[in-house]
Amino acid sequence: MRVIFMGTPDFALAPLAEIFGRGHEIVAVYTRAPKPAGRRGLELTPSPVQAAAEKYGLKVLTPKNFREPETITEFQAFEADVAVVVAYGLILPKPVLDAPKFGCLNLHASLLPRWRGAAPIQRAVMAGDRETGVEVMQMEEGLDTGPVAMAEKLVITPDMTAGQAHDRLSALGADLIGRALAALERGGLQFQPQAGDGVLYAKKIDKAEARVDFARPAAELHNLIRGLSPFPGAFFEADFGKGPERVKVLRASLADGAGKSGEILDASPRVACGEGAIRLLEVQRAGRGPVSGEEFFRGARLSVGGVLSQAEHAPL
């Protein structure tokens, strides 16, 4: 089949490789434009999808949007059978959605209609969901509102991070889109409308949401921490003798114990929350690499009975 692939982040790499490996003719790859990098922002870093597509020798396009008639005309000129969209990041107008023979298929990382939108994996973990999944849907002008053809589910284990779920779902999605294109090619891809109830929107993660408030229940903080690991990373701020310092919490676990919110209960270290406690398993201080919670306890010269209090709302 003649396929246009549209994607940007790491999540889209396995699906791109699957489609390429199955021998489909990928006539173009659309991805977000390279971003400035380096201290002065003078270097441009291509997206993960652009880097992979160029290794495959595929044609890459990086339009800023699809508002210009020339951009739409160029897309239509590829005369694709189908476009596959995986975390692309740009809104596609109706002329683009309608251009391929079989329209545009979106590989979405949730069990729709739950978690439509930009951050479905993180939101599912942050909410404490016990399962999520990946689905192939027909794209419409609405936000993730189209009918669904195929799905694969993933159990979210109690300590699974968003990063771990991301990798599992990317692999599941690659296999799923491969099977979906095979079904489409033989005329066997059937779509069903989404349910009308249970709609939730996975809005982008706001920086303020990542702040760890030890006054919250331990279960909520545990979900927050694993839902934001490894990126952008939940954090708290504390003074270790040189003023407020930001500390990312990359991994934590629920633990027994009680005390003042933020109180260090032992050297593991267990930290008291509004209800229950959490154990810091892996943290990262500003400008340093990740270390175990015990290494952090020793390196920051913490003491049992001390309090990790959130600094008074330092600028984000």
Shared domain check, 244 and 196: no
Shared domain check, 233 and 138: no
* Model pLDDT, residue 315: 44
**pTM: predicted TM-score of the whole model, two decimal places:** 0.93
Asked, for residue 104, whether it belongs to a domain, the answer is yes
Shared domain check, 196 and 211: no
Asked, for residue 316, whether it belongs to a domain, the answer is no
Asked, for residue 278, whether it belongs to a domain, the answer is yes
Shared domain check, 245 and 190: no
Count how many Cα atoms sit within 13 Å of the Cα of residue 236 in the half-sphere of its side chain: 22
Asked, for residue 156, whether it belongs to a domain, the answer is yes
CATH number at residue 279: 3.10.25.10
Shared domain check, 129 and 30: yes
Count how many Cα atoms sit within 13 Å of the Cα of residue 93 in the half-sphere of its side chain: 11
List of residues 6+ apart from 124 with CB closer than 8 A: 110, 114, 115, 132, 156, 165, 202, 227
Mean pLDDT of the 6-28 span: 98
Please provide residue 144's backbone torsions phi and psi, each rounded to the nearest 5 degrees: 55, 40
Shared domain check, 193 and 51: yes
Does residue 113 have a cis peptide bond before it, meaning omega lies within 30 degrees of 0?
A: yes
**Using 50, 70 and 90 to split pLDDT, how confident is the model at 38?**
low
Shared domain check, 31 and 134: yes
What integer best gives the mean pLDDT of the chain? 94
pLDDT in tens, 300-315: 999 999 998 654 444 4
Query: Which range among 3-7, 182-186, 216-220, 240-244 shows the weakest confidence by mean pLDDT?
Result: 240-244
pLDDT in tens, 259-295: 999 999 999 999 999 999 999 999 999 889 999 999 9
Shared domain check, 214 and 193: no
pLDDT in tens, 134-172: 999 999 999 999 999 999 999 999 999 999 999 999 999
Shared domain check, 225 and 89: no
Asked, for residue 313, whether it belongs to a domain, the answer is no
CATH number at residue 148: 3.40.50.170
3-state SS, residue 171: helix
pLDDT in tens, 78-116: 999 999 999 999 999 999 999 999 999 999 999 999 999
Q: Which of 201, 223, 240 is the last residue of a domain?
A: 201
Q: Which of 143, 172, 201 is the last residue of a domain?
A: 201
Shared domain check, 290 and 189: no
Shared domain check, 266 and 238: yes
CB-CB contact of 261 with 273 (8 Å): yes
Asked, for residue 310, whether it belongs to a domain, the answer is no
Shared domain check, 140 and 215: no
How many structural domains comprise the chain? Answer: 2
Asked, for residue 127, whether it belongs to a domain, the answer is yes
pLDDT greater than 80 at residue 47: yes
Structural domain boundaries, residue 294: 207-299
Q: What is the dihedral of CA 232, 233, 238, 244, to 10 degrees?
A: -20
Asked, for residue 243, whether it belongs to a domain, the answer is yes
Helices 13-21 and 48-55: angle between axes, nearest 10 degrees: 20
